[in-house]
Amino acid sequence: MDPLPDETLFARLMKGDEEALETLFARYAPPLYGFLWRLTSDQALAEDLLQEVFIRLVNYAGKPPLYFRAWLYTIARNLAYSSLRAHGREQAHRAYSVAESDEVLKDTTQNLPEKVILSRDNEERVRQSLERLPDEQREVVLLRFYQGLSLEEIAAVVEVSLGTVKSRLYRALRLLRGMLLREEMKENER
Amino acid sequence: MNDESGQKYPAKPDDFPEMEAWERDMADVLKKSEPPPLAPEKMEALLATLRPMVAARREESTPNLSKTAGRMDFGEFIRLVRGQASLLERPFWMVMGLIMAGNLALLASNILQPLITTLFLALPLVGGISIVYSLHGSRGGMWEIEQASPAGLQRIFASRLTLMFVLQLLLALPVLVSYGAQAGVLVLARMVLAWLAPTVALSGMILFLFSYWGEWPSVGITVLVWGSLILFGASRAGFIGFAEMVLARIVFNPLLPLLAVLGLAAGLAFGALGLRRLASGRSSWS
Amino acid sequence: MLRGISKSFDGAPVLRRITLDLHEGVVAILGPNGAGKTTLMRILATVLAPDEGALECNDLQGEAALAATRSQVGYLPQSLELPQHLTPRGLLSYVTSLKRLVVSDEAAMQLLAELGLETVANQPLGQLSDGQRRLAAVAQAFLGRPSLILLDEFSAGLDVAEREAVYRLINAVKPGSLVVVTSNLPAEVGKIAQTLVVLRDGELRFAGNAADLVRQAQGMVWEACLPENEANSTMERYRLSRLRQVNGGVSVRMVGAAPELADARPVEPTLEDAYLLLMGNALKR
């Protein structure tokens, strides 16, 4: 039998169905945790935020969302940013601002090869590069590549137009590619 | 389209032709970064925190089924009566309001006082007609919903008749109190009988006729019967000032208690037969 | 549980010895007009007494079964004749008193919101569209989270979004509940029902899951592409499941034995095909 859609499970959860809770939790706790970790760069904070997201979910008393997944990520994202602001961190501290990222973009995207192939220390390099993206670009990349959301869903989660999502993704990818390839070239020169 | 940095970037789908290739390119690269795993104990601990909250939702939304199948207490019955009131439309309340206002105005006015006895004589008829009216909300879909409900048709009818009776009593009250205050407790008691017995008798009759023949025949026959009785009394009283004469004849008739008991019994019996026929669904109306 | 249910009106049989054992989940009763669906629903709702046979509920029989059914049923009748001056909120309030429940105003408004009626909650039913009136009637059936929900023709007059809202409510019933719906559209009920019951002329023709019904039509569904001038004669000779214009002719989908058409090829049956096959000549096309 096909797995039940999220909206059905959520509606059952609202009526006190424990099995629906367990299914939704198994489905979304790991990817949500990954999203929160990558967004905040803080494991402990990510765990706390994950708990907070699910507590809000279970106690929700409003009109059921039409599109559960996008709505869930919206809650997670908003909680993450509120928490970062409460801790006095406007951005993950290593991230570029949008203006800084423009400078980096100009610097890194000249004469780059077509394909990004990384040799070693991949995980660390990728993580660091992601952290350097401005928040607004990083969240789009996270939602697209790690959470598998469509561009339309991402637009709903971050509450901007589809065009803005595409533009942010475009710049993020250029920047990422540029940073990663530049690092790789430096590595090869050594 | 400009994004936040002020730089111009194309926003239409075709303006990012290389994005698809980049996405494919980056997908494998980005996947190399994994978050630190979430320990199974932590997942289980989080679930354990959530389970009581889910259970609380279950409790708050489950009705107590044993309650819906047992005896109905007074509070529930009152709620059912209030529910019946919601089925009555605005015109009904306006008519009730007008009759009440008429009662009070006539009582207050010395010149028009004789009219109040005419109104009083009409009240049993108003009672019967209002019962027929109260049944008209229960048709079609609503009737089926009522039939399928735990409250049951008997309790629904009982609550409806209770509501109608209370409203009729309220309409009769100004006259009863006014005359009783002037003429004493004995007269008041006889006036109550003079109102109650015809009201119950006519209501029973109209219900019985309604269960066989529907709205208009039952109302028509009842109006005819009561109207004829009043006219007969009026003819004996000479028509002018007849209402007070008729009322006086009724109230001071030595046979009043016996006639009242007969009227009450007949009204209750016919009413019960009519209700049973309605509840069984064999009536012309359902 | 329905055991040997028969019912006639004015001497004409409407249901003939229907025996059905219904458990939890969503059951759809399918059949053409006049098949006896509404009569069966009214018997299930205890609104109509059968001429023969018995209704059992939770292993109870007779009056006890009737009382047990009524204490846990939410019923949407086919007739939408409701007091027109009542608002959706007022309707829920009245039905709450009928169901002997205490339901908070917030819970009632939440139910109306799930069906998209929150903005018209205080408007008289007479001022609402047919779809909104039906949704209000659907709402009262779900009031108090009954464990037996009977929806007769719930989707008549509803647009796509309104139907989706009802499907969501149906899918969200508490575990162990039984929802019975009627329809004459197989495609609609295939989406929500686990069990299908097919009635024809008052008789039970099928009871089981959709996959089993579709299996019955295996090897009995064909498609062919015909020139337009042959389409009419084909329609008369064979039972058509679908007919549509394509470039250069008409594509026909037929159910039954292999047609005598040159390029007829067998195709995988759908629920609609299987239903049409079962109905035989009962459906007028």
Write the residue in B5, B12, B47 that is nearest to A25 by C-beta.
Answer: B47
In this structure, the strands spanning C12-20 and C2-9 are antiparallel
**Which of residues A80 and B1 earns the better pLDDT score?**
A80
Write the residue in B7, B27, B53 that is nearest to A58 by C-beta.
Answer: B53
A132 touches chain B (CB under 8 A): no
Using an 8 Å CB-CB cutoff, list chain A residues near C175. 12, 17, 19
A104 touches chain B (CB under 8 A): no
**C136-190 confidence digits (pLDDT tens):** 999 999 988 888 999 999 888 888 888 888 988 888 887 778 999 998 778 888 7
**C4-22 confidence digits (pLDDT tens):** 888 888 888 888 888 888 8
Is B190 a residue whose pLDDT tops 70? Answer: yes
A4 touches chain C (CB under 8 A): yes
Give the angle C232-C235-C236 at the CA atoms, nearest 5°: 95
Order of strands across the sheet that contains C239-246 = C239-246, C249-255, C221-226, C265-266
Taking an 8 Å cut-off on Cβ atoms, the answer to whether B25 and A141 are in contact is: no
pLDDT interval class at B8 (50, 70, 90) = very low
For B140, left (φ over 0), alpha (ψ -120 to 50), or beta?
left
Half-sphere exposure of A119 (CA within 13 A, CB side): 9
Shortest distance between the Cα of A79 and any Cα of chain B, in A, equals: 17
Using an 8 Å CB-CB cutoff, list chain C residues near B62. 145, 174
Over residues B10-19, the mean pLDDT reads 57
Q: Which secondary structure element, helix H or strand E, spans residue C253, and what is its range? A: strand C249-255
Do residues C250 and C244 lie in contact, with contact meaning Cβ atoms separated by under 8 Å? yes
In the predicted model, what is the mean pLDDT of chain B? 80
Q: Which stretch of A1-5, A56-60, C49-53 has the lowest confidence by average pLDDT?
A: A1-5
pLDDT of residue B2: 34
pLDDT of residue A175: 86
pLDDT of residue C5: 85
Give CA–CA dist B21/B13, Å, rounded: 14
141-180 of C, contacting A, C-beta below 8 A: 145, 168-169, 171-175
Taking an 8 Å cut-off on Cβ atoms, the answer to whether C118 and A63 are in contact is: yes
Q: Which residue is closest to A20 within chain B, CA to CA?
A: B54
Using an 8 Å CB-CB cutoff, list chain C residues near A14. 172
Q: State the best of B28, B50, B53 to mutate against chain A, taking most chain A CBs within 10 Å.
A: B50
Q: State the best of C100, C101, C174 to mutate against chain B, taking most chain B CBs within 10 Å.
A: C100
Q: Which stretch of B146-150, B232-236, B252-256 has the lowest confidence by average pLDDT?
A: B232-236
pLDDT of residue B11: 43
pLDDT interval class at B36 (50, 70, 90) = confident
Give CA–CA dist A130/A127, Å, rounded: 5
127-146 of A, contacting C, C-beta below 8 A: none
pLDDT interval class at A6 (50, 70, 90) = confident
Give CA–CA dist B265/B271, Å, rounded: 10
A155 touches chain B (CB under 8 A): no
Order of strands across the sheet that contains C25-30 = C73-76, C148-151, C178-183, C25-30, C195-200, C203-209
Give me the helix-helix angle, C160-171 and A6-14, nearest 10°. Answer: 60
Using an 8 Å CB-CB cutoff, list chain A residues near B52. none
Shortest distance between the Cα of C18 and any Cα of chain A, in A, equals: 29
Structure tokens that stand for A37 in this block? 């970790």
pLDDT of residue A120: 53
Taking an 8 Å cut-off on Cβ atoms, the answer to whether B87 and C83 are in contact is: yes
**A59-109 confidence digits (pLDDT tens):** 887 777 778 898 999 999 999 988 887 776 655 456 667 777 676 666 665
pLDDT of residue C89: 94
ipTM of the complex model: 0.87
pLDDT of residue B242: 64
Q: State the best of C166, C171, C177 to mutate against chain A, taking most chain A CBs within 10 Å.
A: C171
**A139-153 confidence digits (pLDDT tens):** 999 898 888 888 889
pLDDT of residue C107: 83
A145 touches chain B (CB under 8 A): yes
Query: For residue C115, which phi and psi values (nearest 5 degrees)?
Result: -105, 10
Taking an 8 Å cut-off on Cβ atoms, the answer to whether B144 and C80 are in contact is: no
In the predicted model, what is the mean pLDDT of chain A? 81
Shortest distance between the Cα of C109 and any Cα of chain A, in A, equals: 10
Using an 8 Å CB-CB cutoff, list chain A residues near C171. 4, 8, 11-12
In the predicted model, what is the mean pLDDT of chain C? 85
**A162-185 confidence digits (pLDDT tens):** 889 998 998 888 888 888 777 777
pLDDT interval class at B13 (50, 70, 90) = very low
pLDDT of residue B32: 67
Is C201 a residue whose pLDDT tops 90? Answer: no
A27 touches chain B (CB under 8 A): no
Q: Where are the alpha helices (DSSP H) in A41-161?
A: 43-58, 68-86, 98-108, 122-132, 135-141, 151-158
Q: Which residue is closest to B72 within chain C, CA to CA?
A: C100
Taking an 8 Å cut-off on Cβ atoms, the answer to whether A64 and C145 are in contact is: no
For chain C, give the percent of residues with pLDDT over 70: 97
Q: Which residue is closest to C113 within chain A, CA to CA?
A: A63
Q: CB burial class (10 A; 0-12, 13-18, 19+) of residue C193?
A: buried
Shortest distance between the Cα of B65 and any Cα of chain A, in A, equals: 17
Is A118 a residue whose pLDDT tops 60? Answer: no
pLDDT of residue A75: 92
Residue with tokens 């004995």: B186
**Which of residues B260 and B231 earns the better pLDDT score?**
B260
For chain B, give the percent of residues with pLDDT over 70: 81
**Which of residues B105 and B21 earns the better pLDDT score?**
B105
Over residues C250-260, the mean pLDDT reads 83
Taking an 8 Å cut-off on Cβ atoms, the answer to whether B35 and A123 are in contact is: no
Taking an 8 Å cut-off on Cβ atoms, the answer to whether C175 and A17 are in contact is: yes
**What letters, b where the CB count within 10 A reaches 16 and e where it falls short, cover B199-237?**
bbbbbbbbbbbbbeeebeebbeebeebbeeebeebbeeb
Using an 8 Å CB-CB cutoff, list chain C residues near A63. 110, 113-114, 118
Write the residue in A12, A15, A63 that is nearest to C113 by C-beta.
Answer: A63
Using an 8 Å CB-CB cutoff, list chain A residues near C145. 15
Write the residue in C45, C48, C83 that is nearest to B137 by C-beta.
Answer: C83
A97 touches chain C (CB under 8 A): no
